[in-house]
């Protein structure tokens, strides 16, 4: 039964309701809601956790951030920790162990059965950002010669050990993936029907070493709830579920946003002063270097600026508009690379499209700034110089916004990490160069 409570009501319920009432209604409370209460009421956390079952606590740990998982687990006695670990899903337990020291990880592994510890160590041996690194080993596999009746009885015996049952994967004697059958098809078929008669052989298996971001794209493309993970011999190793993929895509998006802003992806609102400074200062130093480079270009034209002081007023406009145009292109291209929308087949078309955008937007903005420049200075040549400089810089902005992330991707450098620094450098340096260079050529007409 679902309980409709706000956070304060839920806190009071978990703290003061009779134990049997909590056990009755706890299934209707999402673990994330309980986790929110624990985060906002740290003084009550231990009292609340001690009133919950091991299964419920395991679900809360599954939903917690990596740094919270071990903290919650260590609130309990050694014996209760063992029981909670047994209730945790394999993928979440692997995530927990992956962030701990070797000593802490071994301490948890020692509380597990020999078989569970062996299976968990196997999961830890995979790269954490791959399909095998995020998969769960709690899944249902059946043989093709089983009947629907056999399968339903098997499900009744094993359902407690499985996190989600959407599809049943059919394997042969060597654990090789042969097909998939949905739970709906099993439930609506006659008891005597063989699984081999209703299975779908066109099943999309994920290679165990596939990058987790690409796994997310496959879920987006096909709309699956679960997908099987296979090894090089097509043996079924585990499954990835859609809730894990949603978390991955959220984390990848957050990481890209942070990196585009020159901030370490690990920085959080709740982080310390030292952590935030460590995250931001290196990129600010890089930006300082690029700013000095742009200033050196300006310095080379000091004589021209002394003769036409109004140039100093309009310089930031040319550079700033180029930076904005470059960021627009950069955002689209980085997203396209991340989602797999930009590839070798459409790269040429997208490039010329961006150049066209730069030309059209540059001409439009250039025409406006030309008129404003003419009205400001009362000199037609001043308007032409700034207009042409704006067009050239907007074209450069879109070209660099396209090429920089593509080249970085080719060099196996995260485009979101360094692209904005390079694009801004191009638009600042070349923007000043175009504007002040043209002004120097026509300096006699501008005086």
- pLDDT for residue 314: 86
pLDDT higher at 447 or 398: 398
Is the Cα torsion angle 289, 290, 291, 295 positive or negative in sign?
positive
**Maximal CA-CA distance, the chain:** 96
C-alpha to C-alpha distance for 427 and 392, rounded to whole angstroms: 10
* pLDDT above 90 coverage of the chain, percent: 16
Question: In sequence order, what are the beta bridge partners of 147?
Answer: 194
Q: Give the pairing of strands 226-230 and 236-241.
A: antiparallel
Q: Which residues are 319's β-sheet partners?
A: none
pLDDT value at 1 more than 60: no
| CATH code of the domain made up of 7-127 | 1.25.60.10
Q: Over the chain, what is the mean pLDDT? A: 83
DSSP per-residue codes, 393-427? HHHHHHHHHHHHHHHHHHTT--HHHHHHHHHHHHH
Residues 168-188: tens digit of each pLDDT: 899 998 899 999 998 888 888
Is residue 242 within 8 A of residue 225, CB to CB? The reply is yes
Output Rg (C-alpha) for the chain, integer angstroms. Answer: 30
pTM of the model: 0.60
CATH of 273-446, one of 2.30.130.10, 2.50.20.10, 1.10.1060.10, 1.10.357.20: 1.10.357.20
Give the model confidence (pLDDT) of 107-132 as tens digits.
888 888 888 888 888 888 888 888 88
Distance between start and end Cα atoms, the chain:
82
Residues of the chain with CATH 1.25.60.10: 7-127
**What is the structure's pLDDT at 202?**
84
With a cut of 80, say whether residue 269 has pLDDT above it: no
Is pLDDT of 376 > 80? yes
pLDDT category at 229 given cuts 50, 70, 90 is very high
For residue 47, give the H/E element and its range: helix 45-49
- In this prediction, residues 238-261 reach a mean pLDDT of 72
Q: Which two tokens stand for residue 396?
A: 């450069």
CA–CA distance, 32 with 65 (Å, rounded to integer): 11
Maximum mean pLDDT: which of 22-31, 103-112, 233-242, 295-304: 233-242
Q: DSSP states of 344-362 as a string?
A: TTTHHHHHHHHHHHHHHHH
Pairing mode, strands 167-171 and 177-182: antiparallel
- Correct CATH for 141-241 of 3.30.70.20, 3.30.70.2190, 3.40.50.300, 3.10.580.10: 3.10.580.10
Region(s) of the chain under CATH 1.10.357.20: 273-446
Contact 262, 280 (CB under 8 A): yes
Residue from 70, 71, 82, 164 nearest 117 by CA: 82
CATH 3.10.580.10 occupies which residues in the chain? Answer: 141-241
Residues in a beta bridge with 207: 230
- For the stretch 32-90, pLDDT in tens is 888 888 888 888 888 888 888 888 888 888 888 777 888 888 888 888 888 888 888 77
Quickly count: other Cβ atoms within 10 Å of residue 23's Cβ.
14
Query: Which pLDDT value is given to residue 209?
Result: 92
Percentage of the chain exceeding pLDDT 70: 91
**Cβ-based burial of 329 (10 A; exposed 0-12, middle 13-18, buried ≥19):** buried
pLDDT at 353 (0 to 100): 92
For residue 268, pLDDT over 70 is answered with: no
Geometric angle at alpha carbon 108, from 102 and 112, rounded to 5°: 130
CA–CA separation, 35 and 147 (whole Å): 42
> In this model, does residue 261 exceed pLDDT 90?
no
Q: Is the pLDDT of residue 207 over 90?
A: yes
């Amino acid at each position: 039964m679902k309980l409709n409570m706000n956070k304060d009501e839920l806190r009071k319920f978990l703290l003061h309701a009779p134990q049997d009432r909590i056990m009755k209604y706890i299934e209707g409370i999402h673990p994330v809601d309980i986790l929110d209460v624990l985060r906002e009421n740290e003084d009550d956390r231990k009292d609340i956790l001690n009133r919950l079952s091991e299964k419920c606590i395991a679900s809360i740990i599954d939903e917690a951030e990596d740094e919270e998982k071990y903290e919650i687990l260590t609130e309990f006695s050694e014996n209760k920790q063992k029981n909670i670990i047994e209730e945790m899903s394999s993928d979440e337990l692997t995530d927990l162990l992956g962030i701990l020291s070797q000593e802490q990880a071994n301490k948890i592994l020692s509380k597990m059965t020999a078989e569970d510890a062996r299976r968990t160590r196997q999961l830890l041996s995979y790269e954490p950002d791959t399909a095998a690194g995020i998969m769960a080993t709690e899944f249902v596999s059946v043989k093709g010669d089983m009947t629907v009746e056999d399968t339903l009885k098997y499900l009744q015996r094993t359902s407690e050990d499985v996190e989600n049952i959407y599809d049943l994967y059919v394997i042969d004697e060597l654990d090789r993936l042969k097909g998939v059958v949905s739970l709906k098809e099993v439930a609506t078929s006659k008891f005597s029907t063989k699984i081999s008669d209703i299975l779908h052989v066109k099943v999309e298996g994920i290679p165990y070493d596939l990058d987790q971001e690409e796994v997310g794209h496959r879920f987006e493309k096909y709309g699956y709830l679960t997908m099987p993970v296979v090894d090089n011999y097509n043996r079924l190793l585990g499954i990835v579920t859609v809730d894990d993929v949603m978390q991955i895509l959220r984390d990848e998006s957050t990481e890209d946003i942070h990196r585009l802003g020159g901030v370490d992806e690990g920085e959080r609102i709740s982080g310390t002063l030292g952590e935030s400074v460590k995250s931001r200062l290196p990129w600010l130093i890089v930006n300082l270097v690029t700013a000095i480079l742009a200033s050196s270009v300006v310095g080379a034209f000091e004589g021209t600026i002394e003769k036409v002081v109004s140039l100093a007023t309009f310089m930031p406009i040319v550079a700033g508009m180029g930076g904005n145009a470059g960021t627009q292109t950069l955002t689209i291209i980085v997203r396209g690379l991340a989602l797999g929308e930009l590839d070798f087949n459409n790269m040429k078309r997208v490039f010329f499209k961006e150049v066209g955008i730069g030309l059209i937007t540059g001409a439009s903005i250039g025409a406006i700034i030309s008129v404003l420049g003419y009205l400001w200075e009362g000199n037609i040549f001043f308007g032409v110089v700034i207009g042409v400089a704006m067009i050239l810089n907007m074209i450069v902005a879109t070209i660099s916004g396209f090429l920089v992330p593509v080249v970085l991707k080719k060099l196996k450098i995260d485009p979101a990490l360094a692209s904005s620094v390079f694009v801004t450098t191009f638009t600042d340096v070349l923007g000043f160069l175009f504007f002040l260079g043209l002004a120097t050529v026509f300096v006699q007409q501008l005086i």
